[in-house]
């Protein structure tokens, strides 16, 4: 596996930012014999030729992480936290660059990257650095013996991340894994790998020792598969599809490696007649965020029949007023979808639904005025309760609308999929909200709000939406080996 000697040829200019297209392994840039093309969803233009890793690169990265682990694990908490804060400083210094590169790479709104996403990326590091310093469990007594709980670093962590929020979701995993004292091999999605490379530069500049963070680029069935099979890997965290998760879980099972899986959803948004209707429509429109490429999105609108007509009219008007176009434009509300294959997948779902009797109240196909990867925000009705379009994740700007007459019917519809990631409801009745949230199968439920996330809270899904919870202490529970040390009372004699 050659190291890159001609660095200039391995650097791409993306949105005016120099991005190294090689892997980052053991504190060095490393090339591969093969490459793949990374293209922009905005206009289909090629952005860079990316080093295409496989088994050799994955093994080299695990070697580096395995070697670096003892030193990083023994680094005291204060120093670990200091370096993580330095990484956050580096991110904040480059927010404009990171935002511009990520928008070019995955097509999400530039204004969102600038104002929300990249500040959250920095916060991921600050939060887990600070949480590390206050992580503790009160000692407790057992017949005079003291029990002391500690979190020991687990080892090498394989982190495989998706394309819809590349840097935010990567750092959601990288930050707690590093804070816990582990070393990391990050495999970003091949459709949006660029900001992971910039993160490697920022971490190195912040003083993170060589081998503690490694970045291997490539396809999931090559680099990713080799990575999760490596018996030296101690933890695997993956965000992505259910079929891929099954392969990862099988590889992890062979080595008895704990996994954290976040696998998307088909979340409901329940709208009751006693709600603030303006708020309910606002919440529904928000589900088109990031061109519908949000795992938490409440794409199934479940509306009480008595207000369905008025709700629908307002929602159609608001949806048709959304401005679709270049995500770099300040006034743009919806940008492109990520890749031609994904756009085809989205449209195939919609066309099958229409052929089965569904009706498009607005949208229903690609935006032919814009061409490329722009899909019109779509609202479908007249869908059967068991239709594919309401049971399978589309991951695009496509909502379905169903009605109900009773709470019991609303809950039954809400829980009628194999997923259980999130849910939202709009109601003016606090008792009803409490009643219903207790019945919904979901890892997160929002009442009269959406996408409010605090890193102190557990995050994850039920059923096919995933395994495990991360956030706050739950992240350290996953990325560490928990230990209980039991000490006899003072004065007890030991045997000589």
Rounded CA-CA distance 306/25 in Å is 60
Q: Hey, where are the domains in the chain?
A: 7-263+461-483, 268-447
List, in order, residues 6 or more apart from 124 with CB less than 8 Å away: 168, 171, 172, 174, 175, 455
Q: Which residue has the tokens 């949208």?
A: 363
**Is residue 166 a contact partner of residue 196, using CB atoms and an 8 Å limit?**
yes
Distances (CA, A) of 260 to 126, 159, 164, 229, 466: 22, 10, 18, 15, 8
pLDDT score at 208: 98
Torsion-angle region of 292 (φ positive above 0: left; ψ -120 to 50: alpha; else: beta): left
Residue 226, CB-side half-sphere exposure with 13 Å CA sphere: 20
Structure tokens at 209: 């020792």
* pLDDT < 70 positions in the chain: 1-8, 491-496
Rounded CA-CA distance 330/386 in Å is 40
CA-CA-CA-CA torsion sign (315, 316, 317, 318): positive
CATH topology of domain 268-447: Aldehyde Dehydrogenase; Chain A, domain 2 (3.40.309)
* 246-285 burial: b if 16+ Cβ within 10 Å, else e: ebbbebbeeeebbbbbbbbbbbbbbbbeebeeeebbbbbb
List, in order, residues 6 or more apart from 246 with CB less than 8 Å away: none
Provide the Cα torsion 412, 249, 258, 178; round to 10°.
Answer: -100
Return the closest-CA partner of residue 440 out of 458, 454, 419, 470.
419
96 part of the active site = no
Rounded CA-CA distance 402/387 in Å is 12
Q: What angle do CA 289, 290, 291 make, to 5 degrees?
A: 90
Q: What is the pTM of this model?
A: 0.95
Q: Which residue has the tokens 């001609």?
A: 6
pLDDT score at 496: 43
* 440-468 burial: b if 16+ Cβ within 10 Å, else e: bbbbbbbbbebbeeebeeebbbebbbbbb
Structure tokens at 203: 């971490």
CATH number for the domain whose boundaries are 7-263+461-483: 3.40.605.10
Catalytic residue among 222, 262, 304, 470: 262
Catalytic residue among 157, 275, 295, 480: 295
Structure tokens at 355: 């052929």
pLDDT score at 1: 55
57 part of the active site = no
Q: Which pLDDT tens digit goes with each residue over 316-365?
A: 999 999 999 999 999 999 999 999 999 999 999 999 999 999 999 999 99
**Is residue 337 a contact partner of residue 291, using CB atoms and an 8 Å limit?**
yes
Contacts 24+ apart (CB under 8 A), 487-495: 487/145, 487/146, 487/148, 488/144, 488/145, 489/144, 489/145, 489/146
Return the closest-CA partner of residue 185 out of 256, 248, 238.
238
Q: What angle do CA 134, 140, 143 make, to 5 degrees?
A: 165
Structure tokens at 44: 């289909």
Q: Which pLDDT tens digit goes with each residue over 220-277?
A: 999 999 999 999 999 999 999 999 999 999 999 999 999 999 998 999 999 999 999 9
């Amino acid at each position: 596996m050659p190291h890159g000697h001609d660095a200039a040829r391995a650097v791409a200019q993306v949105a005016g930012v120099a991005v190294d297209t090689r892997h980052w392994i053991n504190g060095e840039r490393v090339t591969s014999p093969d490459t793949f093309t990374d293209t922009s969803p905005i206009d289909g233009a090629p952005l860079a030729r990316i080093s295409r890793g496989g088994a050799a690169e994955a093994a080299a990265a695990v070697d580096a992480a395995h070697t670096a682990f003892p030193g990083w694990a023994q680094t005291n908490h204060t120093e670990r936290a200091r370096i993580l804060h330095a990484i956050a400083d580096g991110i904040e210094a480059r927010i404009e660059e990171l935002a511009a590169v990520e928008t070019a790479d995955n097509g999400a709104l530039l204004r969102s990257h600038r104002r929300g996403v990249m500040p959250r990326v920095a916060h991921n590091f600050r939060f887990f650095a600070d949480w590390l310093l206050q992580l503790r469990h009160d000692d407790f007594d057992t017949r005079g013996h003291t029990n002391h709980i500690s979190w020991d670093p687990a080892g090498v962590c394989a982190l495989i991340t998706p394309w819809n929020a590349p840097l935010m979701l990567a750092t959601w995993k990288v930050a707690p894994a590093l804070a816990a004292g582990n070393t990391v091999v990050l495999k970003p999605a091949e459709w949006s790998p660029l900001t992971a490379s910039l993160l490697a530069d920022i971490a190195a500049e912040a003083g993170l020792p060589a081998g503690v963070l490694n970045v291997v680029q490539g396809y999931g069935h090559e680099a990713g598969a080799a990575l999760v099979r490596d018996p030296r890997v101690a933890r695997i965290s993956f965000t992505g599809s259910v079929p891929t998760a099954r392969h990862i879980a099988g590889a992890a099972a062979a080595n008895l490696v704990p996994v954290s899986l976040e696998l998307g959803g088909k979340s409901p948004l329940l709208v009751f007649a006693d709600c603030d209707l303006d708020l309910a429509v606002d919440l529904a429109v928000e589900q088109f965020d990031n061109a519908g490429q949000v795992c938490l999105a409440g794409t199934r609108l479940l509306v009480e029949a008595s207000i369905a007509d008025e709700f629908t009219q307002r929602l159609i008007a608001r949806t048709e007023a959304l401005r679709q176009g270049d995500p770099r434009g300040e006034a743009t509300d919806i940008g492109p979808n990520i890749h031609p294959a994904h756009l085809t997948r989205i449209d195939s779902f919609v066309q099958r639904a229409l052929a089965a009797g569904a009706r498009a109240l607005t949208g229903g196909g690609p935006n032919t005025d814009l061409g490329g990867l722009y899909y019109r925000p779509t609202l479908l009705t007249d869908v059967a309760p068991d239709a594919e379009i309401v049971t399978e994740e589309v991951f695009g700007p496509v909502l379905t609308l169903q009605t109900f007459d009773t709470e019991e019917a609303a809950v039954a519809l809400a829980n009628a999929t194999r997923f259980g990631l999130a849910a939202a409801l709009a109601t003016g009745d606090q008792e009803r909200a409490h009643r219903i949230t207790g019945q919904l199968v979901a890892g997160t439920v929002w009442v009269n709000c959406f996408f409010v996330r605090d890193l102190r809270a557990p995050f994850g899904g039920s059923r096919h939406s995933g395994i495990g919870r991360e956030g706050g202490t739950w992240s350290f529970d996953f990325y560490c080996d928990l230990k209980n040390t039991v000490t006899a009372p003072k004065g007890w004699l030991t045997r000589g």
